[in-house]
Structure 1
Amino acid sequence: MRHLLIPTLALILLAGCATPPSKPADCNCGNGTKPAPITALYNAANWSNLPNWPGENLRGSWPAWLKTCSKLANRAGWKEVCTEARTLPADDDAAIRTYFESRFQPYRITTSEGKESGLITGYYEPLLKGSKEASPTRAPIYAVPDDLLIIDLGDNFPDMKGQRLRGRLEGRKVVPYWNRTDIEAGKAPTAGLALVWADDPIEAFFLQVQGSGRVQLEDGSLMRVGYADQNGHPYKSIGKWLIDQGQLKPNEASMQGIKAWAKANPARLKTMLDANPSYVFFRQLPNADGGPIGALNVPLTDGASVAVDPKFVPLGSPVYLTTSWPNEEKPLNRLMHAQDTGGAIRGPIRADFFWGFGNEAGQLAGRMKQQGQIWLIWPKGVALPKT
């Protein structure tokens, strides 16, 4: 899975740069009550209400839908639509369009606060260079240490379902797990746990941001790694750290800008990385075709898979996304499939667009921080999700 706990790329670089709220989100308001939680509103729409429906690349998104159906085919209300999907020609745009329009109902997602648009960011699967041999100039990509404890709060508190704590034992006491600085100093039991060693520490850091990637070894072979777990510490933005240090301006703190700074300031690289206590552990994955495995447990499809907040958009749902290309005004209207989640993907109108593998995908993902709208494409006759 790529990013169950990993913040998305564009947001992670500048997290905290916006003006902070005047009160904490969980504060008691003037009347002594907490603010009402944000909920999603699903507003039934006609297909003609969807801007430029069926959008671009309808045929290209079809393989992603068939992958989704491999997971949803036995769910009530989904079996029929998935059975029919397998009978359709994959290269017939008209048949695919008719299928969605006859079998599904679009719903414009808005929020209980009245918002109609939200943040759309991007992520990708990076390519690193590395070795199976350790070196002082290389950065280890570790598997999960044996002493990392995972405490599922939902086991004892149903209202906290899905919330987990991570820590370690110190005597009989559970304490926070080691932070990035401690792990890299050797305090965690990571001896023998390096899956591979990345040639460039900054690239290893951004692998942790993305949660999955491929490492090209010295003999030309590729090793694929994916997210396994995290040390439980919250991410602190290295982009904001660089801005606070007067090293970069806000418009320079993109992934590309941070990498350029790291190359020009090797003596300060560790100090910058240590500003973020979060640390991600990996597992080796098969070198199979297709994208990394998302939270739906299917390979992601370039330009057709999207990460969502499953509290508001159920995993597996088709969604129609209307936004714009990274750093452009050119419209980007596309049928996507909710196949992943992410630690920074929170709220009804929030999505992370999977661009694919390699440098070109990384350039697009690193620049994407757009506003957009989301329509839930939901099977007719199936009860809408409750939020």
Structure 2
Amino acid sequence: MKPLSPILPSPARRWAAAALAASLAGCGVMPASNTASTTAAPAPAPAPQRPVVIAAPEPETPSQRPSTLGASVAGQARTFSTQLATYTSVPFDTVPGWRGDDFSESWPAFLGSCKVLTGRGTEWKEVCARAAQVDGRNNPAIRNFFEREFSAYQIRDDDRRPDGVVTGYFEPEIAGSRQYAAPFIYPVYGQPEDMVFADARKLPPGSGTVAARIVGRNVVVQSGLSTRDMGAPGLYALDLSTITRDTLDRKVRLRADGRRLLPYYTREEIETKGAPNAKVLAFVSSATALYEMQIQGSGRIRLANGEIIRVAYAEQNGQPFRPTLAQSSSGKARSPVKTRGGAIELELDDGDDEVNDSSVIRTRGFTLAVPVASGAVMVPGRRVTGPVIGSGIKDPSYVFFKESADTAAGGPVGAFGVPLSAGRSIAVDPRSTPLGYPVFVSTRAPGSGAPMQRLTIAQDTGGAIRGAVRADYFFGNGQQAATQARRMKERGQLWILLPRGLAVAAAASSSIRTRGGAVGADLPQCLVPEEGSCVDD
């Protein structure tokens, strides 16, 4: 696939920003869908063989960098940084496609986010109050509102590259049953009652064993105790060498096994031993369809009588996302990835666009291998016919769902707590793009390659959505949405809209980092820390 714009060279040095000044949450938007909303006509496609050129601001010079200590204020600071990204102020007119978008399509999604954002600080409360006075059918009025109330900042990754990867996702629908009977033998589990949580920020460093207590659903490390105290009533031994600390929400998922606290069960353990402490919401007939629904994060289960069970993400087992990638004829992975910071990040490839290949699972930009052998799984309280060999899926991560009372035609509820809007909601990495914030995305449409440039709202996250310049469009539900989402994997660039006057990070004139060097300890990890979504150390 052709790049949307040349990758600009990184400067030898980068000015960094220090600690965050405010704890606020953000808004974001997604790509157009084929079902729930009407998509604005894309800009005319460029001549064949010519790439879509996205304007990018020049790297700032030393004279343009903030030189005073204190909060970086949106609308005043030229640039500021976090551990993962650099944000550079640009005029709205330089954002490609800004003038051609139909902002009335993103307006309902933005107002939905305002219901949450009004409780996140004075700036957002005032902005959303003024938004209520805007005519949602008047496109120029909406555009003027965003230009008046916000400042646009282009997001670059920690190497100052403006280009990233844009993929797509959808809400799948699969056949199922409330009862366990062939062919419906794969359980859709709710959140287990025996799962407990530890705050990774409060765990001691190192890989030793510490004493801990369980208080409600929380694990509390007991300081000042030695291994000789482990036998005391109510104490558990926690081996820190088994802990995965790299989670966005800084939650470590654990279970009690006798007097020990262990990482929660892997997929293989859940499938071969069952999950006796988790409610079964339904049963489905396809292990691979269930796996795709877990990766998508939501879905619909259609019963034989036509009833729809709508499920949404509730929890996950805390194990790392390690999918089995499909191999090309050359033996190379068909979806190139890189491991960085304990997580898999998707890279752009030039794979084929065949979405009906039954030998692979295409989902959220990944081309995954279908299990060679898939058989029965253990279901507590059910008599299983034949040997229990599991689904054959090697990924240790596992997603638990909750049943949603809303079975209407609207979108599922995303991580931000509001329904997703097809075509105007996106999933992001909340460390660099706070949830709720408007984000303008410039990329290509799947299949046609025509420019797709529109305002979206960041309202969801995903275990595989990692990186500063990374977005995942929600296409809605239905077959057309599934086809578009599976095809979507393009280069793209992002511009986040920040309310004018919002303090987001502190400028530190003494903080300098070089390309490939260690990240300064004074840089925040999150642009806007949000409990339960992105938590700074």
Q: Same fold (TM over 0.5)?
A: yes
Do structure 1's residue 43 and structure 2's residue 88 form an aligned pair?
Answer: yes
1:182: how far off?
2.1
1:173 maps to which of 246, 257, 260: 260
2: CA distance, partners of 1:166 / 1:132: 28
CA RMSD of aligned residues (A): 3.1
The aligned counterpart of 1:381 is 501
Taking a change above 3 Å as real, the CA distance of residues 182 and 258 of structure 1, as seen in their structure-2 partners, is farther
Do structure 1's residue 313 and structure 2's residue 433 form an aligned pair?
Answer: yes
2: CA distance, partners of 1:367 / 1:198: 25
2: CA distance, partners of 1:244 / 1:163: 40
SS of the residue 2:357 aligns to: helix
1: CA distance, partners of 2:276 / 2:169: 31
The aligned counterpart of 2:250 is 163
User: Which whole-Å deviations, capped at 9, do the CAs of 1:216-251 have from their partners, x for residues lacking one?
Assistant: 1111111111111112222222334x5599799664
1:369: how far off?
1.3
Taking a change above 3 Å as real, the CA distance of residues 254 and 213 of structure 1, as seen in their structure-2 partners, is farther
The aligned counterpart of 1:268 is 373
2:133 maps to which of 70, 87, 102: 87
The aligned counterpart of 1:216 is 302
1:59 maps to which of 62, 79, 104: 104
2: CA distance, partners of 1:349 / 1:318: 14
Equivalences for residues 88-237 of structure 1 within 5 A: 88-138=134-184, 139-156=186-203, 162-189=249-276, 193-237=279-323
- Runs of at least 5 residues in structure 1 that lack an aligned partner in the other structure: 1-35
Of 67-76 and 161-170, more deviation after overlay is shown by 161-170
Do structure 1's residue 286 and structure 2's residue 405 form an aligned pair?
Answer: yes
Taking a change above 3 Å as real, the CA distance of residues 111 and 172 of structure 1, as seen in their structure-2 partners, is same
The aligned counterpart of 1:21 is none
Aligned length: 349
Whether the aligned pair in 1 keeps the contact of 2:353 and 2:487 (CA below 8 Å) is no
The aligned counterpart of 1:76 is 122
Identical residues among aligned pairs (%): 37
Taking a change above 3 Å as real, the CA distance of residues 236 and 244 of structure 1, as seen in their structure-2 partners, is farther
Equivalences for residues 324-335 of structure 1 within 5 A: 324-335=444-455
SS of the residue 2:88 aligns to: strand
Whether the aligned pair in 2 keeps the contact of 1:243 and 1:253 (CA below 8 Å) is no
Amino acid of the structure 2 residue aligned with 1:196: A
Whether the aligned pair in 2 keeps the contact of 1:129 and 1:198 (CA below 8 Å) is yes
Whether the aligned pair in 2 keeps the contact of 1:322 and 1:374 (CA below 8 Å) is yes
SS of the residue 2:161 aligns to: coil
Amino acid of the structure 2 residue aligned with 1:381: G
Taking a change above 3 Å as real, the CA distance of residues 95 and 37 of structure 1, as seen in their structure-2 partners, is closer
SS of the residue 1:102 aligns to: helix
1:306: how far off?
1.0
SS of the residue 1:337 aligns to: strand
2: CA distance, partners of 1:118 / 1:252: 19
Of 213-222 and 105-114, more deviation after overlay is shown by 105-114
Of 148-157 and 58-67, more deviation after overlay is shown by 148-157
SS of the residue 1:239 aligns to: coil
1:167: how far off?
2.6
User: Which whole-Å deviations, capped at 9, do the CAs of 1:173-230 have from their partners, x for residues lacking one?
Assistant: 1223222222122343157x21111132221111111111111111111111111111
1:63: how far off?
0.2
Taking a change above 3 Å as real, the CA distance of residues 267 and 45 of structure 1, as seen in their structure-2 partners, is closer
2: CA distance, partners of 1:371 / 1:212: 25
The aligned counterpart of 1:10 is none
Whether the aligned pair in 1 keeps the contact of 2:429 and 2:466 (CA below 8 Å) is yes
**Runs of 4+ residues deviating >3 angstroms:** 36-39, 54-57, 155-161, 242-256, 258-262, 269-273, 384-387
TM-score normalised by the chain length of structure 2: 0.60
Taking a change above 3 Å as real, the CA distance of residues 260 and 346 of structure 1, as seen in their structure-2 partners, is closer
Whether the aligned pair in 1 keeps the contact of 2:300 and 2:309 (CA below 8 Å) is yes
Taking a change above 3 Å as real, the CA distance of residues 300 and 259 of structure 1, as seen in their structure-2 partners, is farther
Amino acid of the structure 2 residue aligned with 1:214: R
Do structure 1's residue 362 and structure 2's residue 482 form an aligned pair?
Answer: yes
Taking a change above 3 Å as real, the CA distance of residues 320 and 142 of structure 1, as seen in their structure-2 partners, is same
Taking a change above 3 Å as real, the CA distance of residues 57 and 269 of structure 1, as seen in their structure-2 partners, is farther
